[in-house]
Amino acid sequence: MKKSQLVLLFTFLSITLFSQTYEIGHKQIYFYDPDRSDREIQTEVYYPTDVAGDDVAMAAGEFPVLVFGHGFVMAWSSYSNFWNEFVPKGYIMVFPRTEGGMSPSHESFGLDLAFLASKMQEENLNSGSHFFGKVSDKTAVMGHSMGGGSSFIAADANPNITTMVTFAAAETTPSAITAAASITMPAIVFSGSLDAIAPAGENQTPMYNALASSCKSFISVTGCNHCYFADYNFNCSLFDASATFDREEIHDVLFDFINIWFDYTLRDDNEAINEFNDSLQLSGRITYEQSCDLTQISKVKPLKATAYPNPVEDILSIEIENPKGLSVLKIYNLTGEIVESVSFAGDRYEFPTTKFGEGIYLIQISNSNRFFTYKIIKQ
């Protein structure tokens, strides 16, 4: 097959995947962070499937992850508008249920978000996981109110997150504004023009100004208050101002921007940034600020590599396109354990496999924040 034919084929497959509509699966999981004394993180995960339901099998494919932090004394269930929007379009949404009381630890919540972003990548390589082989290497951290502020803590703690999107983010302890100065990933900071709980002047505006992102946008939704970013929540509504537009109208405005932004940052559609910027300029429902140097955006991208033969008997040959410095090869068995890890330089590497038993293994090659994951059969 000619190169031009391959390009057309992959383009067709990408369009088909991204335009497909999925059903919504749900699974509740307890994750444990070993770096924080096995901190328990009760988590609700919504994911693409062919048949809706709890604990059902995932749909075929690999899907970006959206980790979402809830607001102060607001449950994850207040954000069904988000999972109903994004999961059918091929995203996995992850909601930690921690820090839901009257005296939450913003730092712990931010670290929960950062941990879950990394944990889902591990789940992709764990053959015993519901998400084995289903997670792409692109992740967004998101959050509303307290969860928005905690997203800054998460993004500061986990630089492997691809992008950050926040909604009416509230200042935290430790300071989200301070954390912003260390964050370089592309970001959107949403604000409501009528927010009476976390007004932009003391919260989102200084966060946005402090961000070190090479591409960042501040979007104030006209007529939106603090609570209308989410579905109705009694606790949130007690102290907020009235919005001048319906909640559904506001959600439509949000999703019009976010879907395009995710096409660009999580699905490598480079043309989408032009559509995003056009929408900023043409929308009559927002005001905005933007600082965006497209030549300086650093995005996590798939590593272009090949591994052969497959099945393999003695030597696995690895070829990398345009390597930058050292590459790291990790091999995982079917229990998700790393059975080998080596570093190598150059665009070609011969890896002996004679010491491995027959069976299926996953290999992951990383190079300059780019990743290649592949399943091999050892004969």
In this prediction, residue 1 carries a pLDDT of 39
In the chain, CATH 3.40.50.1820 sits at 3-296
Q: Do the Cβ atoms of 149 and 175 come closer than 8 Å?
A: no
In this prediction, residue 191 carries a pLDDT of 98
Q: How far apart are CA 152 and CA 173, in angstroms?
A: 11
In this prediction, residue 325 carries a pLDDT of 82
CB neighbours (10 Å) of residue 364?
20
CATH number (3.40.640.10, 3.30.1510.10, 3.40.50.970, 3.40.50.1820) of 3-296 reads: 3.40.50.1820
Q: How far apart are CA 42 and CA 29, in angstroms?
A: 6
In this prediction, residue 152 carries a pLDDT of 98
In the chain, CATH 2.60.40.3080 sits at 303-378
| Sign of the alpha-carbon dihedral angle for 329, 335, 337, 339 | negative
In this prediction, residue 5 carries a pLDDT of 42
In this prediction, residue 285 carries a pLDDT of 94
Q: Of 28, 56, 58, 52, which Cα lies nearest the Cα of 42? A: 28
Element at 320 (helix H, strand E) = strand 315-320
Q: Of 241, 244, 249, which Cα lies nearest the Cα of 199? A: 241
Q: Do the Cβ atoms of 44 and 116 come closer than 8 Å?
A: no
In this prediction, residue 2 carries a pLDDT of 41
| Full-model pTM | 0.76
CB neighbours (10 Å) of residue 287?
13
| Residue 308 CB partners (closer than 8 Å, separation 6+) | 316, 317
In this prediction, residue 18 carries a pLDDT of 52
Walk along the chain (379 residues) and give the pLDDT tens digit of each residue: 343 344 344 444 444 445 579 999 999 999 999 999 999 999 999 999 999 999 999 999 999 999 999 999 999 999 999 999 999 999 999 999 999 999 999 999 999 999 999 999 999 999 999 999 999 999 999 999 999 999 999 999 998 899 999 999 999 999 999 999 999 999 999 999 999 999 999 999 999 999 999 899 999 999 999 999 999 999 898 889 899 999 999 999 999 999 999 999 999 888 899 899 999 998 999 999 999 876 544 444 567 888 899 899 999 999 998 888 888 888 877 666 788 889 898 999 999 999 999 888 878 888 776 777 777 888 8
The token pair that represents 198 in the structure block: 């976390």
Q: How far apart are CA 179 and CA 118, in angstroms?
A: 19
Rg for the chain, CA atoms, rounded: 21
In this prediction, residue 330 carries a pLDDT of 85
In this prediction, residue 335 carries a pLDDT of 65
The token pair that represents 98 in the structure block: 């921690």
Q: Going by CATH, does the domain composed of 303-378 fall within 2.60.410.10?
A: no
In this prediction, residue 298 carries a pLDDT of 46
Q: How far apart are CA 370 and CA 138, in angstroms?
A: 10
